[in-house]
Structure 1
Amino acid sequence: MQAYHHGEIVPQAHSVWLFIDSQTVGGIESHVFNLALALHQRGHAVCVVFWKAYIKPHPMLSQLEQAQVPWLILDGAIASLLHAVNNFSPRLVHSHGYKASLVGRVLRCIKPIKLVSSYHAGEISQGRLACYDWLDRNTACLSQARIAISRDIAKRVAASSMIVNNFVQVPPFVSTLKSRRHKRRLTIGFVGRLTEVKGPDRFYQLAKAMPELNFVVFGEGALLPSDEHKNLSNLRLRGKQNSMDTCWQELDLLCMPSRNEGLPLASLEAMSRGIPVIATNVGALSELIKHQQNGFILEGFEVEQWRKVIKRWQQNADFQYQLAKQARQTIIERYSPEAIIPQFEKVYSQLA
């Protein structure tokens, strides 16, 4: 049985490997794709390596093919990874997520690879995942370099970590900024997993409190609207999207009432398109959002407080426009590939 397979583009020797175990698209996967694309565009040999194939083809594969970025899928065994490493001699392996990081450290016990591990998750895991998360954080010293996307996440890693912000590709032009000033009915969005930590229950409460606005949910999970909220005429559930590219244009404001966070990629993607974010002050969101300058950052969640802030935004078209323009500018200056990729390049060059 073949130990691995790749796409039409054969990975180059001495590439940077972005190593991940995944079967769907989320924040980590979007980060890996953005990183692969940015490195490729800056002339680096790069390959996205998946631990194993699942029942359905990974949605990222078509994106990578379109961007001319090589990919490699292993068979879920250390022997497969070792075989691929021996054949392609990667420059270094950059792992994302607890499983890829733990597997990479096991490989380092067999073969002296250069290993970088990134820490993305801001929420505290539960059950079996909590054990894996603890093991990942407490064996971090076995990776030669560690990267965290926020100070809070770095504090939980049992080895010194470099803090590197999440980043996104910035759309070249946003034609909807001015057109939003004349919309009669504005739309507020929620993008993410429907779990307690992300706070969709709070989003449903806002929808009930503000019937004059549209509320739309992009995501899936167990925390669906209760009987009190499921029949609201202004609340729609659109399900999980493999790509949000065509959905962002529907939104005027992104709502992130999370109970815990790192630096969510959805906030950067929204702001890069001129969509401000209203969020709870958790994780690194207060470093991204400056209250009433490029979005709204609030302590805790109280429906009436949030309703008043959104109402003020809703009633002032000029305020909406200025907030949207500054949100986009924040991403260009601090969270774009041009601002962030040199930090990854520095980590890689120090290992090389």
Structure 2
Amino acid sequence: MTTENLKIALLLDSKDYGGIETHVANLAKGLHKSGHHVQIILLNNYGEHPVFESEQFLRSRLVKLDGGFNTFFNLLKKSNINLVHTHGYKAGIIGRISCKLAKKAVVSTFHSGEKGNIKIRLYSWLDRITAHLSPCICVSEQIKKSANLTADVIQNFVELPTQSFKTTVPATQVAFVGRLSFEKGPDVFLRLAKQLPQYSFSIYGDGPMSDEITATASDNVELVGHVTSMIPHWPKISLLCITSREEGLPLVAIEALVRGIPVISFDIGGIASVVINDLSGWLIAPFNEQDFIESIKQGQTLSQTQRSKMSLFGYLHIRNNFSCNAVIPQIFNVYRKALIGGSHAK
């Protein structure tokens, strides 16, 4: 089968803004620019979607289903879709089984290393044991190892901003951006903030630890909550902190760096491929909170020249290694494997 002008469906189950959603939106745009027809298929209709209905191009590619296996399977049988690319455990399970029955090519990306609750663990187990039905992609070596998968490791990527990362807006916030869950360590972020009352800290996101975080936040922490897009908020952020206990390759780090924002993170998962220590941010030995505090102080007292140099290095590193142009050809190599015969085809 030719791999030109393909009809590709990006399948996921989603109702909120997050790393997977941003990844799929960037992938849809990149595939479209490469000359392919793209659909974004949501397994369930949860109402207006904050990412996929935020702009005309994504809205024009969006299909919402009713959550049923038969609904997607029947759509697949009647369609001229060449390949389905699944994202997330529910889409992975349903997508791979449906494509096997409908004799369609399928690829699955594993994004997360989080363990979650018992229900999530069950779905993740089913996701892993059905993974042999398709070629797989993992966004970090850690996720590949923890899931015990035969997979290509292809790291996250972003669409380059249309505007320069340089800004005249004073950036003062030390920020946490992500799900308020134990794995992401928002409680660690709060401990750091309490020891640095001279700086302003902000938390963007919500999740199962929201009540605990609200109850224990110090006065220098602003709880912004869930936002539908970080684009209007990035210019206010001076440093991004990643305090995760477990991590794959957080897309939020790439999004910050491409906008010239230095990142401070515990050196876990695939973060070291994105944050280059002392050049685009700081990598901290897990889980040394005192060193993390010292790096925040260093970041907040950079001279304009030092910050500009660090910002430019971070931007160029992302542009050259984690942009659509750099990563989508790698993804397409996995598509070729699926189209010519499955997960073991070369």
Establish whether TM, by shorter chain, passes 0.5: yes
Higher relative contact order (CA 8 A, sep 6+): 2
Asked whether 1:26 is paired with 2:18, we answer yes
Distance 1:116 1:227 in 2: 40
1:104, CA displacement in angstroms?
1.6
Asked whether 1:271 is paired with 2:257, we answer yes
Aligned partner of 2:161 in structure 1 is 171
Gaps in structure 1 of 5+ consecutive residues: 1-12
Per mean C-alpha deviation after superposition, the further-off stretch among 283-292 and 120-129 is 120-129
Distance 1:166 1:335 in 2: 7
Identity %: 33
Question: What letter is aligned with 1:261?
Answer: E
Asked whether 1:292 is paired with 2:284, we answer no
Per mean C-alpha deviation after superposition, the further-off stretch among 336-345 and 165-174 is 165-174
Count how many residue pairs are aligned between Structure 1 and Structure 2: 333
Aligned partner of 2:136 in structure 1 is 146
Change (3 A) 1:345 1:69: farther
TM-score by length of 1: 0.89
Q: Residues 1-352 of structure 1 correspond to what in structure 2 (within 5 A)?
A: 15-54=7-46, 56-63=47-54, 65-67=56-58, 69-143=60-134, 145-174=135-164, 176=166, 179=168, 183=170, 186-224=172-210, 229-230=216-217, 232-317=218-303, 318-352=305-339
Distance 2:195 2:127 in 1: 42
Aligned partner of 2:342 in structure 1 is none
Change (3 A) 1:64 1:74: farther
Distance 1:27 1:94 in 2: 16
Secondary structure of 2:309's partner?
helix
Gaps in structure 2 of 5+ consecutive residues: 340-346
Q: Deviation string for 1:223-242 (max 9, x for gaps)?
A: 24568843x33210011111
Secondary structure of 2:201's partner?
strand
1:349, CA displacement in angstroms?
2.7
Report if aligned partners of 1:28, 1:96 keep a CA contact under 8 Å in 2. Answer: yes
Change (3 A) 1:172 1:226: closer
Question: What letter is aligned with 1:23?
Answer: K
Distance 2:59 2:34 in 1: 13
Per mean C-alpha deviation after superposition, the further-off stretch among 34-43 and 68-77 is 68-77
Question: What letter is aligned with 1:300?
Answer: P
TM-score by length of 2: 0.90
1:322, CA displacement in angstroms?
1.6
Please provide the CA RMSD for this pair. Answer: 2.0
Question: What letter is aligned with 1:92?
Answer: L
